[in-house]
A and B are shown apart, each in its own frame.
Chain A
């Protein structure tokens, strides 16, 4: 019997293996997946990857441009370990603009696994270990600093935490609401369906941005950060669930005719039980795909809200909050590097979309 079992395993790929094989074929999806994974790791272990404390101002180094890493020094000698130069802030006597002068005498080598500022990971593990930094006395701001001299790179990493997690929980919540409402709508069909669909249309008829703004303006700014976070998640999912509900309803309409639904009824199961246990699990692959594709739009929505000052409030950072600083032309003209968070939004949204496409193709058995 053991032999038979082994033989079987050899012959058939499990469904999971098939999905994985199809996913691997999707090059863009693979790429997107890797970027998403990287972003997740970055945001989960944000303090470890940040060379500086993202909230700590440094008035000596405001609006410092991105600092390059140098391999060759001024004499043209090649160093295996890259270094940064010491920087002295000055002021142009005519324009009063800040200037940063390189001091070629001071060199600070790049170091990995360096001890730096103290942090608590997940509020439990105390540490001061960081992936990289430069020797004491020097500074290394790969993306420059903002108006208070805070390291933009660290702020982006911490911002990704909020931006990605808001989008993730938002799409999770909208998936739960959407699949439940869509499931009920499709399962009962008839008048219930008609009613729910009209409500969904009412939600969709509202112009999204003003609705979102109105809802988030209702969140008191005096709330503690975690409540604001939850509030934004709820607002975003209130906007997004309708699309998923539509999708789920359409699939459920076809599943409700299947005999296993009748069979479950004949065994005495009640409607809600059948919807949750039998109908929705059959739509799960669709739900996962829609969820993945919802995340990028939620990242954008959150950024929009925060950019307009209605979402995440400082001192919490999200990518939208960071971009808020880039909201006037003078600042952008003088310090273009504060727009770098925008590039992060762009690439994140793009890669999650690729990832979602890959997942969709992998989960669709007909794409074989």
Chain B
């Protein structure tokens, strides 16, 4: 990608100061988002993917949270250094966000129209009547049937998918350049998921905006992302474009994730699983943070933290032994406990 990045996150560190100690939820994360592309951020619960997005919006609750270091460059400004007032202008206008839970992300006491109108009036300074017209148009664009009627309905009268569409309409009502979607489809059933993702893809194209898609679902990543950052324990462990990630995962964690998905073309009696769970952020292990669960961990992995290095052009990985993993893959072996594969 030769284009200039829309958002450039450099060595972002967001810590939470709790009574038990400092939680380094995001600890040195780098990535870029280019105009018009979708960056997927994937990882399991508690790996810091939501906190990164909230850090970009500067919505990390403070206290206890605090952005301790790093830069978030957006249109020549470092978002970490802006005042709250300047930040408010950016939220909604330039960067919008949609949330996981469409059931609660709309205010139950106002009609959906009111809420979109409110957003439009807040940012565009247009009159109520005009804002209402725009709101109806937006509802139409996100594929809500009978928008003239729906605009006067309350959130509880809409289904989950409809509500998520309304949320998208609200987020897009001010033509943002970046849309942060924090697990937008997690609470929806599979068919609705597909519809919403398709909608987001088509809107991305017609609006020319960038999307930051946060999810734990690799299927979603495969469907919408151009590039992917895999996060583990507050760090990016693999960062590449979506095709090479799925074809050639270089980090043992990513590989484990891939193998834990059922595949249509392989008959597997039991799926592979990565043993254990994410270590507590209060006491991360020394060295590579994945070493407690990594079957390849040895020597250096327990003492020194690997850097995010270029394994190939445009394919970064944070692992000491990615080359060994290549060989294992080439031999067709599996690294996670063998559990009887039938070909």
Task: Give me the interface of A with B, judged by CB distance under 8 Å.
Answer: 1, 5, 190, 258-260, 262-270, 277-278, 281-282, 284
Residue in contact with B99 in the complex, picked from A1, A263, A282, CB distance below 8 Å: A263
Give the distance in Å from the alpha carbon of A266 to the alpha carbon of B90 in the complex: 9
- Give the chain B neighbours of A260 by CB distance below 8 A: 104-108
Q: Is the interface of A mostly helix, strand, loop or mixed?
A: helix
Partner-binding segment picked from B116-124, B203-211, B244-252, B315-323: B116-124
The digit string for B106-146, where 1 denotes a CB below 8 A from any CB of A, is 11111000000011001100000000000000000000001
**Contact across chains for B104 and A259 when beta carbons are under 8 A apart:** yes
Question: Looking at the complex, which one of B109, B110, B149, B170 makes contact with A267 (CB distance below 8 Å)?
Answer: B170
Residues B109 and A259 in contact, CB atoms below 8 Å apart:
no
Q: Chain B residues near A267 (CB, 8 Å)?
A: 91-92, 96, 119, 122-123, 170-171
Given the interface pairs A190-B63, A258-B104, the reply to whether A266 lies near B109 with Cβ below 8 Å is no
User: With A259-B99, A259-B101, A277-B118 in contact, is A266–B106 under 8 Å at CB?
Assistant: no
Q: Which residues of B have CB within 8 Å of A263? A: 97-99, 105-106, 167, 170
Closest 6 CB pairs of A and B: A268-B92, A268-B91, A259-B105, A267-B92, A266-B97, A260-B107
| Complex CA distance for A265 and B109, rounded to whole angstroms | 17
Whether A282 pairs with B57 at a CB distance below 8 angstroms is: no
- Complex CA–CA separation, A284 to B108 (angstroms): 12
Please give the residue numbers on chain B whose beta carbons come within 8 Å of chain A beta carbons, in ascending order. Answer: 57, 59, 63, 88-93, 96-101, 104-110, 118-119, 122-123, 146, 149, 167, 170-171
Question: Is B107 in contact with A268, judged by CB distance below 8 angstroms?
Answer: no
List of B residues within 8 angstroms of A278 by Cβ: 107
B-chain residues with CB within 8 Å of residue A259 when the two chains form the complex? 99-101, 104-105
* A268-B63 in contact given A259-B99, A281-B109 (Cβ < 8 Å): no
Please, which residues of chain B bring their CB within 8 A of the CB of A265? 57, 59, 91
What's the minimum C-beta distance from B124 to chain A, rounded to whole angstroms? 12
CB contacts (< 8 Å) of A282 on chain B: these are 107-109
Chain A CB count within 10 A is highest, among B88, B123, B146, for: B88
Q: Give the contacting residue for A266; candidates B57, B89, B107; CB below 8 A.
A: B57
Contact B92 A266 (CB under 8 A): yes
Instruction: For residue A157, give the distance in angstroms from its CB to the closest CB of chain B.
Output: 39
25 of the cross-chain contacts (CB-CB < 8 Å) are A190-B63, A259-B99, A259-B104, A260-B108, A262-B105, A263-B97, A263-B98, A263-B167, A263-B170, A265-B57, A266-B92, A267-B119, A267-B122, A268-B89, A268-B90, A268-B91, A268-B92, A268-B122, A269-B88, A269-B92, A269-B122, A278-B107, A281-B110, A282-B108, A282-B109
Contacting residues, chain A, for B146 (C-beta < 8 A): 1
For B57, the chain A residues whose CB sits under 8 A away are 265-266
B19 to chain A, nearest CB (A): 13
CB–CB A268/B123 < 8 A:
yes
A262 and B109 contact, Cβ closer than 8 Å, known pairs A267-B122, A268-B90, A268-B123: no
- Cα–Cα, bound, A190→B104 (Å): 23
Bound-complex Cα distance A277 to B149 (A): 23
How many Å lie between the Cα of A282 and that of B270 in the bound state? 48
